[in-house]
Amino acid sequence: MNVLIFGAKGYLGSLFASLYPHALTPSVDIADAASVAQILDQEKPDIVINCAGKTGRPNVDWCETHREETLRSNVTGPLVLLQECGSRGIYWVHIGSGCIYEGEGGSRGYTEEDPPNFTGSFYSRTKLWSDQILREFPVLNLRIRMPFDGSLSGRNLLTKLRGYSRVLDVRNSLTYLPDFLRAASSLMERRITGTFNVVNEGAISPYEVMQLFAEIVDPTHAFERLTLEDLSSVVSAGRSNCILSAGKLKREGIEMQPVRQALTEAMNMMKSLL
Ligand SMILES: NC(=O)c1ccc[n+]([C@@H]2O[C@H](COP(=O)([O-])OP(=O)(O)OC[C@H]3O[C@@H](n4cnc5c(N)ncnc54)[C@H](OP(=O)(O)O)[C@@H]3O)[C@@H](O)[C@H]2O)c1
C-alpha cells in the first residue's frame, strides 16, 4: 500500500509515519494546489493522510493573531486535498477535531450527526468550517480530542498538563493515540469514509487526570484546581470542553478502551521514561 502523509513532521504525522514506515512524507504546502497535484501525479499514492494543520505554539491562542496562516492550513489546505485527491479518485483521510463542541451532549455525548456548537476560538472555527465541508464528500474525517500517549513529547496532553500549576476540572473526552492509530488503520484498510469521533470510552477532567498522574507517576507533583470561571483569566481564546460519543466507531466493530485504563497505560510508560 502506497501511503502518503502530509504534515509528517508533526505530533500526529510522526505517529502515522512510524505506523507506515515506508510512507512518503513530502514537505509540501497543502494549500498550494500545484505542488499537491505534482506530488500526487508523481507518487500515485493509494492513500493520503492529512496530518498538516496549524494548532498554534505554545497553544491555540497563537491562531487568534495568525489568522491567515491558520485559515490557509486548516481550511484552504483540506479544500485543496478535496479537489486534488477527489479528481484523481484517491482515498484520503483528514485529522479533524472534537473541539467544535461545548458541553456533555446529553447522556450519550455528541454524535457525528449533532451540529457543532463551539465557536469560541479562531482555531475551533477553522476546524469547524473544514469539518462541515468535508462531511459532504467521501473523505474519512477522524475527530480527536486532547490526544495523549506515553511519550515525553511536548505535544502530549499529559506533558502539557504536567507543566500547569492550575488544572481545569471539567469533564472531557480524550483520545489515546495508540488506540486512535488502531482505529484509523482499521477504517483505512476498509476504505471507509465519513466522519468519526475517535475518543476513548468515558470522560474525565484534566484535574482528575493529574490526580491519577500524582498517584502513578509522581506523588510530589503539585497543582491546583481551576474552574471554568477562572479559565478566561489564563487564556485569550475560548477553549472547548466536550464529551463525544464513539458509538458510530463501535458500530464499525472498533472498541476504544476506557479512558482511565488508557491513561494508566500511558502514565506507566511515561514513568519508565522519566
Ligand atoms: N494536538 C492536538 O491537540 C489536536 C487535537 C485535535 C485535532 N488535532 C488536529 O490534528 C492535526 C495535526 O495536529 P498535530 O498536533 O500533529 O500538530 P503539529 O504537531 O503542529 O503538526 C502539524 C504539522 O503540519 C505542518 N503544517 C502546517 N501547515 C501546513 C501546510 N499548510 N502544509 C503542510 N504542512 C503544514 C506543521 O508544520 P509547521 O510546524 O511548520 O507549521 C507541522 O509539522 C491538525 O489538523 C490538528 O488540528 C490536533
Q: How far is the CA of 8 from the centre of ligand 1 (A)?
A: 9
Nearest CA to 54 out of 39, 68, 33 is that of 68
pLDDT score recorded for residue 161: 97
Which H or E run includes 268? helix 259-273
Mutation pick for ligand 1 pocket among 5, 6, 11, 24 (CB with most ligand atoms within 8 Å): 11
Closest CA to ligand 1's atom 19: 10
Q: pLDDT under 70 in the chain at which residues?
A: none
Task: Return phi, psi of residue 155, to 5°.
Answer: -90, -15
Ligand 1 neighbour 54 (Cβ under 6 A): yes
Ligand 1 neighbour 30 (Cβ under 6 A): yes
Among the four given CATH numbers 3.40.640.10, 3.40.50.720, 1.20.1050.10, 3.20.20.140, the one describing domain 3-273: 3.40.50.720
pLDDT score recorded for residue 182: 98
End-to-end CA distance of the chain: 37
Phi-psi region of 125 (alpha: psi -120 to 50; beta: other; left: phi over 0): alpha
What residue ranges in the chain does DSSP mark as E strands?
3-6, 47-50, 91-97, 140-144, 147-148, 166-168, 175-176, 194-197, 224-226
pLDDT score recorded for residue 233: 81
Residue 119: CB partners within 8 Å, gap ≥ 6? 125, 128
pLDDT score recorded for residue 238: 86
Closest CA to ligand 1's atom 11: 51
Nearest CA to 130 out of 173, 90, 81 is that of 81
From CA 241, how far away is CA 194, in angstroms rounded?
Answer: 23
Q: How far is the CA of 264 from the centre of ligand 1 (A)?
A: 26
**What digits encode the pLDDT tens for the residues 56-109?**
999 999 999 999 999 999 999 999 999 999 999 999 999 999 999 999 999 999
Domain map (residue ranges) of the chain: 3-273
Nearest CA to 198 out of 113, 96, 59 is that of 96
C-alpha cell at 221: 507533583
| Rg of the chain in Å (alpha carbons) | 18
**pTM over 0.75, yes/no:** yes
Q: How far is the CA of 218 from the centre of ligand 1 (A)?
A: 30
Q: How far is the CA of 265 from the centre of ligand 1 (A)?
A: 25
Ligand 1 neighbour 150 (Cβ under 6 A): no
Task: Return phi, psi of residue 5, to 5°.
Answer: -115, 125
